[in-house]
Amino acid sequence: MSFALSRRGFIGSAAALSATPMASPMAAYAKSDAAANAPVPVNPLVKQRADAQVFRHDDGNYYLTGSVPEYDRLVLRRSKTLAGLATAKEAVLWRHEKTGPRSGFIWAPELHLIDGKWIMYFAAGPSGGGDDVFRIRTYAVICDGNDPMTGKWSVLGEFQSPWDSFNLDSTSFVHKGVRYFAWAQREPGIDTNSNLYIAKLESPLKLGSKATRLTVPTLDWEVRGYKVAEAPAVLHRNGRLFMTYSASATDARYCLGLLTADENADLLDASSWTKSPQPVFVTNTQTSVYGPGHNSFTVDEKGRDILVYHGRDYEAIEGDPLFNPDRHTRVQRLYYTADGTPDFGVPVGNGPMPERFASASNPKLLLAHDGTRVIAGNPALPQTQFRQLPGRAGAKSVMLSPILMPDHYLVANKDGSISLQPDSQSADFALRSQFVRFDEDGRGTRFVAISIPGKALGISDGQVKLVSSRTSGAYFNAD
């Protein structure tokens, strides 16, 4: 069975080779009890794993690989749940060699199942110091069995790139029955560190068509520190193919750009792809995530799209950012604008993955905030994302905190209003910031206030306030 699985791209499962962009490729999983009761992932999902790939295989397992701080080995872990990857046992598939072209840095692994064989692409260079260690080329290892965690892996060979020059971050995907290969490379005669390319793939290491240059880093946000376009990742949704890529230096300036093509366009024609003029995902000081990038796409247990990326939780780096170990694997929901374009929002920060809460009686009104003012509306995505944290009034109590103000919490006031307040450490705050969450099939989610019996967080008359806990205004659709 041959289909596309990749660190950077998510097109679908084996049954979805003939693309159906509006349907979630994992919708079947959403009907299971396991999906409904899956644990909430906590960020960072896995510490010190950069260039992260997470995907859900059709065996129901999640797989994760990424660069390790030592850059000396290829690793893989597996879990039945997305959250479980945090503690899943990690297998070492292959280690760099003692001498030769694969004896130095090992970067950016990516796992695929191609023609029934497990293949892992990676970038490597020779050891020995000096500029030679950055003689980075793309290679692949292959598994001799059906289980990538337990099979024996050996070197398949080197990617036959168009030029003998720096190249890395290879991905493969299938669209309309055709397998493609996308990667980053320094092209002779172009003064950049790397550009993005695409071609058809004839075999795991051989192109089946002439390479097409998709984009060259020229915009100000693509050339900060270094002139970089790397790590392509492909998502097919809403009649289009979206290709994210990473740009600039790997410190806090690292960010994601976006190319877009119509699903029926010739993907090997560079004019089919449109570059967004601004980055789509950048450092955010309010959530304390710096240098987000090198992403992939997957789905959660309910079939909803998930953005996977790495980022640091501090800005100042001692020494070369390349050797800083604290690029952690992170995950968050990927939402869409009204026209079907991905809305990446901002990196959501450390802690449980947040949710959004739309009024069950008026879905256009979401629980949101404008600074410290709590509002009902649909402002920018980050203003509608709230993290549920354990409460202080027993096992069932919870607190709600906005991702942009992680030191503030929703508080039920005596006059029935709702406000955002910092934790005063007082007994009064501890009481008024506590809610009990009820998820009711067919009706939605309620947050009943502990401080005022019979009242719940709700939306009424276009405002967020305390309402009777059994009225329609007390119910939200959580997403």
| First vs last C-alpha separation in the chain | 34
Location of structure tokens 């036959």: 160
Residue pointed to by tokens 């997470």: 54
**Are the CB atoms for 382 and 403 separated by under 8 Å?**
yes
CA 11 – CA 305 distance, rounded (Å) = 11
**How many Cβ atoms from other residues are within 10 Å of residue 413's Cβ?**
15
- Cα 52–54–57 angle (5° rounding)? 155
Q: Which of 171, 182, 244, 169 is nearest to 211 (CA)?
A: 182
CB distance 92 to 98 below 8 Å: no
User: Is 266 among the residues known to form the active site?
Assistant: no
51 catalytic per annotation: yes
Q: How many CB atoms lie within 10 A of CB 219?
A: 18
Catalytic residue among 169, 187, 222, 230, which?
Answer: 230
Q: In this structure, are residues 268 and 241 in contact, taking their beta carbons and an 8 Å threshold?
A: no
Q: Find, among 13, 53, 43, 12, the residue nearest to 313 by Cα.
A: 43
Residue 177 CB burial class (10 angstroms; 0-12, 13-18, ≥19) = exposed
Q: Which of 51, 110, 187, 251 is catalytic?
A: 51
Instruction: Identify the CA nearest to 122 among candidates 142, 101, 105, 138.
Output: 138
Where in the sequence numbering do the catalytic residues fall? 51, 230
